[in-house]
Amino acid sequence: MSTAKQAIGIFDSGIGGLTVAKAVRALLPGEPIIYVGDTARVPYGIKSEETVQRYAAEITKFLRRQDVKMIIIACNTVSAAALSVVQEQAGSVPVLDVISSGAEAALAHNDPAAHIGIIGTLATVHSKAYQRALLNLRQDISITAEACPLLVPLAEEGWIDHPVTRQTLRIYLESFRNKSIDRLILGCTHYPLFKSVIREVGGFQEDQLIDSAEVIARHARRLLTERNLLHPSDQPGDFTCYVSDRPQRFMELAERFLGDSVEADVIREWE
Ligand code: DGL
């Protein structure tokens, strides 16, 4: 039986999920958060479904041992490849994933005959999980998806508004040109960092870009409210990070993704 004072567990393949943690902290500042980044095994976006499922199961077991009241899958690749594995391991702990949230948000505007664009890692785009989630909600839509694998290393390198990034985006976003895309789903943890460059290079308005980090934070608040699990504190909740590799690089990059500095403990054993 969960109680309001337990933490929210958020996990990702590495550092990118801090964009989701940032949105959750902004909306639910009193909530204690336990963040897990699998920095030893990142990136997940180029790995097979079986491998991502195995990693996701291990992390979910770890989070259950931390006694979290909710699990948020911040990683699009895990949401695409391993949602049911996480749900199974989570038992009675509710699980939110960025793909269900992102798909709902992309269709919330009720654009007539909507054309939805998706960008994500190779694994996310090839899994067609976003496409399925969108079509489950509405069938009279068109979808164009493009894998953008180079954007993750560019974000981690800090090349946000950089000529190489602009040129890379020009090439990736070419498939959306002249297609009257209504909404573009930023289907990867790292892409919110590129929002303004994507708008500029792709010619999108702000409300056309769907940032699942903000949406999933709102879903988390709704679910916790419904279940009477909102933390009662008006003080900022603890933010605890666990990583699977040496924490130095994680701590160096964290500020760019979280907007705050962090300390991180190393997970020695998953089991
Ligand atoms: N966190 C991953 C995602 O959102 C991106 C990084 C990776 O490939 O592991 O898909």
pLDDT, one tens digit per residue, over 127-176 is 999 999 999 999 999 999 999 999 999 999 999 999 999 999 999 999 99
Q: pLDDT value at position 269?
A: 81
Distance 75 CA to ligand 1 centre (A): 6
d(CA 122, CA 145): 10
pLDDT in tens, 195-210: 999 999 999 999 999 9
Neighbours of 234 (CB within 10 A): 7
Adjacent-strand bridge partners of 143: 116
pLDDT in tens, 98-131: 999 999 999 999 889 899 999 999 999 999 999 9
As for ligand 1, residues whose beta carbon falls within 6 Å of it are: 12-14, 16, 42-45, 75-77, 121, 124, 152, 188-190
Neighbours of 66 (CB within 10 A): 13
Tokens for 118, please give them.
């998706």
Angle ∠(4,189,81) on CA atoms, nearest 5 = 85
- The answer to whether 23 touches 217, Cβ cutoff 8 Å, is yes
Cβ neighbours for 104, distance < 8 A, ≥ 6 positions apart: 137, 215
Of 13, 41, 79, the one to substitute when testing ligand 1's pocket (max ligand atoms within 8 A of C-beta) is: 13
Whether 37 has a pLDDT exceeding 80, the answer reads yes
Angle ∠(235,74,85) on CA atoms, nearest 5 = 120
d(CA 254, CA 182): 32
